[in-house]
Protein backbone atom coordinates (compact mmCIF):
# COMPACT_ATOMS: atom_id res chain seq x y z
CA UNK A 1 0.00 0.00 0.00
CA UNK A 2 2.80 2.38 0.89
CA UNK A 3 4.55 1.51 -2.37
CA UNK A 4 1.46 2.35 -4.37
CA UNK A 5 1.16 5.72 -2.61
CA UNK A 6 4.79 6.53 -3.47
CA UNK A 7 4.21 5.68 -7.13
CA UNK A 8 1.11 7.85 -7.21
CA UNK A 9 2.98 10.74 -5.63
CA UNK A 10 5.81 10.47 -8.14
CA UNK A 11 3.32 10.54 -11.02
CA UNK A 12 1.72 13.72 -9.68
CA UNK A 13 5.10 15.40 -9.25
CA UNK A 14 6.09 14.39 -12.81
CA UNK A 15 2.90 15.77 -14.33
CA UNK A 16 3.29 19.05 -12.40
CA UNK A 17 6.89 19.38 -13.55
CA UNK A 18 5.94 18.76 -17.16
CA UNK A 19 3.21 21.42 -16.96
CA UNK A 20 5.69 23.94 -15.52
CA UNK A 21 8.12 23.25 -18.37
CA UNK A 22 5.32 23.81 -20.95
CA UNK A 23 4.26 27.04 -19.23
CA UNK A 24 7.83 28.43 -19.26
CA UNK A 25 8.15 27.46 -22.96
CA UNK A 26 4.98 29.38 -23.86
CA UNK A 27 6.12 32.47 -21.92
CA UNK A 28 9.50 32.37 -23.68
CA UNK A 29 7.86 32.16 -27.13
CA UNK A 30 5.52 35.09 -26.42
CA UNK A 31 8.33 37.32 -25.12
CA UNK A 32 10.54 36.49 -28.11
CA UNK A 33 7.71 37.24 -30.59
CA UNK A 34 6.94 40.59 -28.96
CA UNK A 35 10.59 41.58 -29.13
CA UNK A 36 10.81 40.71 -32.80
CA UNK A 37 7.64 42.67 -33.63
CA UNK A 38 8.96 45.69 -31.77
CA UNK A 39 12.25 45.50 -33.68
CA UNK A 40 10.41 45.26 -37.02
CA UNK A 41 8.20 48.22 -36.05
CA UNK A 42 11.22 50.33 -35.12
CA UNK A 43 12.97 49.37 -38.36
CA UNK A 44 9.87 50.29 -40.44
CA UNK A 45 9.47 53.58 -38.61
CA UNK A 46 13.14 54.42 -39.23
CA UNK A 47 12.79 53.58 -42.91
CA UNK A 48 9.65 55.75 -43.24
CA UNK A 49 11.39 58.68 -41.54
CA UNK A 50 14.40 58.35 -43.84
CA UNK A 51 12.12 58.21 -46.90
CA UNK A 52 10.22 61.26 -45.66
CA UNK A 53 13.34 63.37 -45.04
CA UNK A 54 14.02 64.20 -48.74
CA UNK A 55 10.45 65.50 -49.14
CA UNK A 56 10.87 67.72 -46.09
CA UNK A 57 14.19 69.01 -47.37
CA UNK A 58 12.67 69.62 -50.79
CA UNK A 59 9.87 71.64 -49.29
CA UNK A 60 12.41 73.74 -47.44
CA UNK A 61 14.33 74.71 -50.59
CA UNK A 62 14.56 78.46 -51.33
CA UNK A 63 11.71 79.75 -53.46
CA UNK A 64 13.10 83.00 -54.89
CA UNK A 65 15.67 83.28 -57.65
CA UNK A 66 18.05 85.25 -55.40
CA UNK A 67 17.83 82.64 -52.62
CA UNK A 68 18.29 79.75 -55.04
CA UNK A 69 21.35 81.17 -56.86
CA UNK A 70 24.05 80.11 -54.30
CA UNK A 71 22.64 76.57 -54.11
CA UNK A 72 22.46 76.24 -57.90
CA UNK A 73 26.01 77.59 -58.31
CA UNK A 74 27.29 75.00 -55.83
CA UNK A 75 25.81 72.34 -58.09
CA UNK A 76 27.28 73.89 -61.24
CA UNK A 77 23.91 75.26 -62.38
CA UNK A 78 22.56 78.75 -63.05
CA UNK A 79 19.19 80.27 -62.26
CA UNK A 80 17.04 80.96 -65.31
CA UNK A 81 15.14 84.29 -65.57
CA UNK A 82 11.32 84.06 -65.56
CA UNK A 83 9.69 83.91 -69.00
CA UNK A 84 7.73 86.88 -70.30
CA UNK A 85 3.95 86.55 -70.42
CA UNK A 86 2.84 85.18 -73.79
CA UNK A 87 -0.53 85.09 -75.48
CA UNK A 88 -2.77 82.23 -74.37
CA UNK A 89 -3.13 79.69 -77.19
CA UNK A 90 -6.84 78.92 -77.77
CA UNK A 91 -8.13 75.83 -79.53
CA UNK A 92 -11.33 74.93 -81.35
CA UNK A 93 -13.67 76.89 -83.60
CA UNK A 94 -15.34 78.84 -80.78
CA UNK A 95 -14.00 80.45 -77.60
CA UNK A 96 -16.98 81.00 -75.28
CA UNK A 97 -16.05 84.13 -73.36
CA UNK A 98 -19.20 84.33 -71.24
CA UNK A 99 -22.63 82.69 -71.12
CA UNK A 100 -23.52 84.36 -67.79
CA UNK A 101 -24.23 81.06 -66.06
CA UNK A 102 -21.31 81.33 -63.62
CA UNK A 103 -20.06 83.95 -61.17
CA UNK A 104 -21.33 87.47 -61.71
CA UNK A 105 -17.89 89.10 -61.69
CA UNK A 106 -16.09 86.34 -63.63
CA UNK A 107 -16.51 85.22 -67.23
CA UNK A 108 -16.09 81.66 -68.54
CA UNK A 109 -12.38 82.26 -69.10
CA UNK A 110 -12.06 83.02 -65.37
CA UNK A 111 -11.23 86.69 -65.79
CA UNK A 112 -12.91 89.85 -64.57
CA UNK A 113 -16.06 91.33 -66.13
CA UNK A 114 -17.64 94.58 -64.99
CA UNK A 115 -19.02 97.96 -65.95
CA UNK A 116 -17.00 101.11 -66.55
CA UNK A 117 -18.56 104.51 -65.87
CA UNK A 118 -17.82 108.22 -65.46
CA UNK A 119 -20.45 110.54 -63.95
CA UNK A 120 -22.88 111.95 -64.71
CA UNK A 121 -23.55 108.95 -66.99
CA UNK A 122 -24.73 105.77 -65.29
CA UNK A 123 -24.74 102.02 -65.96
CA UNK A 124 -25.64 98.84 -64.09
CA UNK A 125 -25.73 95.09 -64.81
CA UNK A 126 -27.91 92.24 -63.61
CA UNK A 127 -28.52 88.55 -64.42
CA UNK A 128 -31.90 87.51 -65.75
CA UNK A 129 -33.63 84.28 -66.79
CA UNK A 130 -34.72 84.20 -70.43
CA UNK A 131 -35.36 81.98 -73.45
CA UNK A 132 -33.35 81.90 -76.70
CA UNK A 133 -34.53 79.60 -79.50
CA UNK A 134 -36.61 77.59 -77.05
CA UNK A 135 -33.85 77.01 -74.48
CA UNK A 136 -33.77 78.44 -70.97
CA UNK A 137 -30.68 80.48 -70.23
CA UNK A 138 -29.17 83.14 -68.00
CA UNK A 139 -28.52 86.46 -69.74
CA UNK A 140 -26.85 89.74 -68.85
CA UNK A 141 -28.97 92.88 -68.64
CA UNK A 142 -27.04 96.16 -69.10
CA UNK A 143 -29.06 99.24 -68.15
CA UNK A 144 -27.46 102.49 -69.32
CA UNK A 145 -28.08 106.22 -69.02
CA UNK A 146 -25.65 108.14 -71.23
CA UNK A 147 -25.69 111.88 -70.53
CA UNK A 148 -24.59 114.59 -72.92
CA UNK A 149 -23.66 117.36 -70.49
CA UNK A 150 -21.47 117.61 -67.41
CA UNK A 151 -18.42 115.58 -66.46
CA UNK A 152 -14.99 115.81 -68.16
CA UNK A 153 -15.14 118.23 -71.09
CA UNK A 154 -18.84 118.81 -70.48
CA UNK A 155 -19.78 115.81 -72.65
CA UNK A 156 -21.70 113.85 -70.03
CA UNK A 157 -19.03 111.31 -69.05
CA UNK A 158 -19.19 107.75 -70.35
CA UNK A 159 -20.51 104.28 -69.56
CA UNK A 160 -20.23 100.71 -70.80
CA UNK A 161 -19.33 97.11 -70.01
CA UNK A 162 -16.18 95.02 -70.49
CA UNK A 163 -15.19 91.37 -70.22
CA UNK A 164 -11.50 90.46 -70.15
CA UNK A 165 -10.19 87.81 -72.51
CA UNK A 166 -6.67 88.02 -71.09
CA UNK A 167 -5.82 86.16 -67.89
CA UNK A 168 -5.97 88.93 -65.29
CA UNK A 169 -3.91 86.86 -62.81
CA UNK A 170 -0.95 86.02 -65.05
CA UNK A 171 -1.44 88.96 -67.46
CA UNK A 172 -1.32 86.56 -70.42
CA UNK A 173 -3.12 87.87 -73.49
CA UNK A 174 -5.43 85.78 -75.66
CA UNK A 175 -4.18 84.78 -79.11
CA UNK A 176 -7.18 85.45 -81.33
CA UNK A 177 -5.26 85.56 -84.60
CA UNK A 178 -7.05 82.44 -85.91
CA UNK A 179 -10.54 83.81 -85.23
CA UNK A 180 -12.75 85.93 -87.49
CA UNK A 181 -15.66 87.28 -85.45
CA UNK A 182 -16.84 88.54 -82.10
CA UNK A 183 -20.33 87.03 -81.75
CA UNK A 184 -23.12 87.39 -79.20
CA UNK A 185 -26.88 87.27 -78.85
CA UNK A 186 -28.51 90.64 -78.17
CA UNK A 187 -31.95 92.24 -77.79
CA UNK A 188 -33.36 95.44 -76.36
CA UNK A 189 -36.00 96.08 -73.75
CA UNK A 190 -38.08 98.07 -76.27
CA UNK A 191 -36.02 98.13 -79.48
CA UNK A 192 -33.91 100.87 -81.08
CA UNK A 193 -31.38 100.81 -78.21
CA UNK A 194 -27.84 101.33 -79.45
CA UNK A 195 -24.16 100.80 -78.67
CA UNK A 196 -20.79 100.06 -80.28
CA UNK A 197 -18.79 96.87 -79.78
CA UNK A 198 -15.15 97.31 -78.82
CA UNK A 199 -11.93 95.34 -78.72
CA UNK A 200 -8.62 95.95 -76.91
CA UNK A 201 -5.17 94.48 -77.37
CA UNK A 202 -2.04 94.90 -75.23
CA UNK A 203 -1.57 98.54 -76.30
CA UNK A 204 -5.16 99.59 -75.64
CA UNK A 205 -5.14 97.60 -72.41
CA UNK A 206 -2.26 99.70 -71.09
CA UNK A 207 -4.04 102.98 -71.78
CA UNK A 208 -7.39 101.68 -70.47
CA UNK A 209 -9.41 102.00 -73.68
CA UNK A 210 -10.57 100.03 -76.73
CA UNK A 211 -11.18 100.45 -80.46
CA UNK A 212 -14.86 100.82 -81.36
CA UNK A 213 -16.95 99.26 -84.13
CA UNK A 214 -19.70 100.98 -86.06
CA UNK A 215 -23.12 101.15 -84.45
CA UNK A 216 -24.25 97.62 -83.63
CA UNK A 217 -27.14 97.57 -86.12
CA UNK A 218 -24.60 97.19 -88.96
CA UNK A 219 -23.86 93.67 -87.66
CA UNK A 220 -27.44 92.54 -86.98
CA UNK A 221 -29.85 90.79 -89.40
CA UNK A 222 -32.59 93.38 -88.75
CA UNK A 223 -30.19 96.31 -89.13
CA UNK A 224 -30.93 97.50 -85.60
CA UNK A 225 -31.62 96.24 -82.08
CA UNK A 226 -35.17 94.93 -81.63
CA UNK A 227 -37.06 93.37 -78.73
CA UNK A 228 -36.30 89.93 -80.22
CA UNK A 229 -33.03 88.00 -79.91
CA UNK A 230 -30.58 88.38 -82.80
CA UNK A 231 -27.04 87.09 -83.25
CA UNK A 232 -24.45 89.79 -83.90
CA UNK A 233 -21.29 88.97 -85.90
CA UNK A 234 -18.65 91.67 -85.65
CA UNK A 235 -15.62 90.98 -87.90
CA UNK A 236 -12.30 91.11 -86.07
CA UNK A 237 -10.67 92.60 -89.15
CA UNK A 238 -12.37 95.97 -88.56
CA UNK A 239 -10.26 96.38 -85.43
CA UNK A 240 -6.79 97.50 -86.53
CA UNK A 241 -4.80 96.08 -83.62
CA UNK A 242 -2.69 93.03 -82.65
CA UNK A 243 -5.09 90.09 -82.69
CA UNK A 244 -2.41 87.81 -81.20
CA UNK A 245 -2.52 89.75 -77.91
CA UNK A 246 -6.19 90.42 -77.15
CA UNK A 247 -7.18 91.91 -73.82
CA UNK A 248 -10.92 92.67 -73.66
CA UNK A 249 -14.25 92.83 -75.47
CA UNK A 250 -16.35 95.88 -74.64
CA UNK A 251 -19.87 97.31 -75.01
CA UNK A 252 -19.76 101.09 -75.40
CA UNK A 253 -22.65 103.55 -75.14
CA UNK A 254 -21.01 106.34 -77.14
CA UNK A 255 -22.47 109.77 -77.76
CA UNK A 256 -22.50 108.99 -81.51
CA UNK A 257 -25.07 106.26 -80.86
CA UNK A 258 -27.84 108.65 -79.73
CA UNK A 259 -29.67 111.74 -80.96
CA UNK A 260 -28.06 114.78 -79.37
CA UNK A 261 -25.50 112.49 -77.69
CA UNK A 262 -27.77 111.22 -74.89
CA UNK A 263 -29.72 107.98 -74.52
CA UNK A 264 -31.05 105.53 -71.96
CA UNK A 265 -32.37 101.99 -72.05
CA UNK A 266 -31.66 98.32 -71.37
CA UNK A 267 -29.99 95.73 -73.59
CA UNK A 268 -29.58 92.00 -72.99
CA UNK A 269 -26.64 89.75 -73.94
CA UNK A 270 -25.86 86.04 -74.04
CA UNK A 271 -23.02 83.82 -75.27
CA UNK A 272 -20.30 86.36 -76.01
CA UNK A 273 -17.68 84.45 -78.03
CA UNK A 274 -14.89 84.46 -80.57
CA UNK A 275 -15.61 82.37 -83.67
CA UNK A 276 -13.69 81.25 -86.75
pTM summary value:
0.69
d(C-alpha 114, C-alpha 249), whole Å:
11
Q: What is the dihedral of CA 103, 96, 209, 173, to 10 degrees?
A: 100
- Looking at 46-55, 73-82, 137-146, 215-224, which range is the least confident one? 46-55
Q: Where are the beta strands (DSSP E) in 43-178?
A: 94-98, 113-118, 122-132, 135-146, 158-164
What is the structure's pLDDT at 202?
A: 97
- Between 56 and 190, name the one with better pLDDT: 190
Work out the pLDDT band at 55, boundaries 50, 70, 90. Answer: very low
The H-assigned helical ranges of the chain are 2-59, 65-74, 202-207
- What is the overall mean pLDDT for the chain? 80
Find out whether 182 and 199 touch, Cβ atoms under 8 Å: yes
- Displacement of CA 210 from its chain's centroid (Å): 24
Q: Kindly state the DSSP code that residue 188 receives in the 8-state scheme.
A: E
Q: What mean pLDDT do residues 115-132 have?
A: 97
Kindly report which listed range (6-10, 174-178, 191-195, 255-259) carries the lowest average pLDDT score. Answer: 6-10
Query: What is the rounded distance in angstroms from the CA atom of residue 195 to the CA atom of residue 122?
Result: 14
**What is the architecture, at CATH level 2, of domain 94-275?**
Sandwich (2.60)
Asked if 187 and 243 touch (Cβ cutoff 8 Å), the reply is no
Residue 140 near residue 100 (C-beta atoms within 8 A): yes
Digit-coded pLDDT (tens) for 70-81: 433 444 444 444
When pLDDT is averaged across residues 218-228 and rounded to a whole number, the result is 98
What's the pLDDT band for 87 if we cut at 50, 70, 90? confident
Q: Where in the chain is the domain with CATH 2.60.120.430?
A: 94-275
pLDDT, tens digit, 9 for 90 and up, residues 164-178 = 999 999 999 999 999
Instruction: Tell me the C-alpha distance between 33 and 180, whole Å.
Output: 78
pLDDT higher than threshold 80 for residue 213: yes
pLDDT-derived band of residue 89, with 50, 70 and 90 as boundaries?
A: low
H/E stretch holding 196: strand 196-201
pLDDT-derived band at 27 (thresholds 50, 70, 90) equals low
How far apart CA 221 and CA 231 sit, in angstroms, is 8
Buried b (16+ CB within 10 A) or exposed e, 181-214: bbbbbbbbeeeebbbbbbbbbbebbeeeebbbbe
Amino acid sequence: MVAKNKVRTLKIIGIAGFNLICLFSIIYCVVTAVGKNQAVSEETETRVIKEFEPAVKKAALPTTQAQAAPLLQAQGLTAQPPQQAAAVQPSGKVILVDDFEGEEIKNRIGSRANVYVRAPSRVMVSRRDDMINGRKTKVLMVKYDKKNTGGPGGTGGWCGYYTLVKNDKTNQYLDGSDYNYITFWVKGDKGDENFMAGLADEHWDKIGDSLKSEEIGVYLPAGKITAQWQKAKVPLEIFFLDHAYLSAITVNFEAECFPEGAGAGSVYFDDIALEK
